Amino acid sequence: MSKKTIFITGATAGFGEAMAKRFAAAGHSLILTGRRSDRLAKLKSELKAPVHTVQLDVTDKNAVNQAVSSLPAEFKAIDVLINNAGLAMGMGPAHTSEMSDWEQMIDTNIKGLIYVTRAILPGMVERDKGHVVNLGSVAGTYPYPGGNVYGGTKAFVHQFSLNLRADLLGSNVRVTSVEPGMAETEFSVVRVTLKTKKDKEAYKGMQPMTPDDIAQTIEFITTILPEHVNINTIEMMPVMQAFSAFAVKRQG
């Protein structure tokens, strides 16, 4: 297995942190970004691998371009981009949701993802090698009450990933959309606790996936799977999560 240079957004918690630890343990070089500089510094100190950290808000297009263009020489040839930064805000119905929550999800989950992709993808195409991994969600495929804009942003991630594959036909650049179901991370705290103080209730009586479950899957598709094979989409759920019946509102 050749050593790769891997760029991970949203690396300070959850899936991103778990991926950083797995890739570092395998000896890969890492570019880790996140908004919390203290967490980036702590994570870097714990990893036994070449690491370059960048405090970065992916919604800032100019900052993204500056971060990529100013990478140290030994980190410039990015082999794997993992667009992990994302969030969900609020769980209310569309007619009562906060517009600021909707805007933040669109800015991060869609615009931030395309800013980073557009900054890094040309180098991959020029070198004729690379892998873009986009973190989607089962919410992009299956609707549920309160999923409104969040589900819409993840549907974008799914379709954008497939369209990248179409654009990149003829090159050796791979693209994968990884779409998890229930996984216990800070994600639920951001989405639920700030609103209802009940973030743990979503996992009561069942075993959700862990960040390392997702990290292990991404490690496999990016560094172990033969490079002539492209996984277009991976949909993942814990065993105790499946598809609900159609919702019917009955009178009386």
Query: Could you tell me the CATH number of the domain that includes residue 173?
Result: 3.40.50.720
198-202, 214-218, 224-228, range with the lowest pLDDT: 198-202
Q: What's the pLDDT band for 193 if we cut at 50, 70, 90?
A: very low
Q: Within a domain: residue 243?
A: no
pLDDT of residue 244: 85
Give the total number of structural domains in the chain: 1
Integer Cα distance of 83 and 76 in angstroms: 17
Residue 252 within a domain: no
Largest CA distance in the chain: 69
Q: What share of the chain in percent tops pLDDT 70? A: 94
- The model's confidence at residue 185, banded by pLDDT at 50, 70 and 90, is confident
- The catalytic position among 115, 142, 144, 150 is 150
Asked whether residue 250 is domain-assigned, the answer is: no
* Active site (annotated) includes residue 150: yes
Question: Is 140 among the domain residues?
Answer: yes
Residue 109 confidence (pLDDT): 98
Residue 159: domain span? 5-236
Helix axis angle for 113-127 and 148-167, nearest 10°, is 10
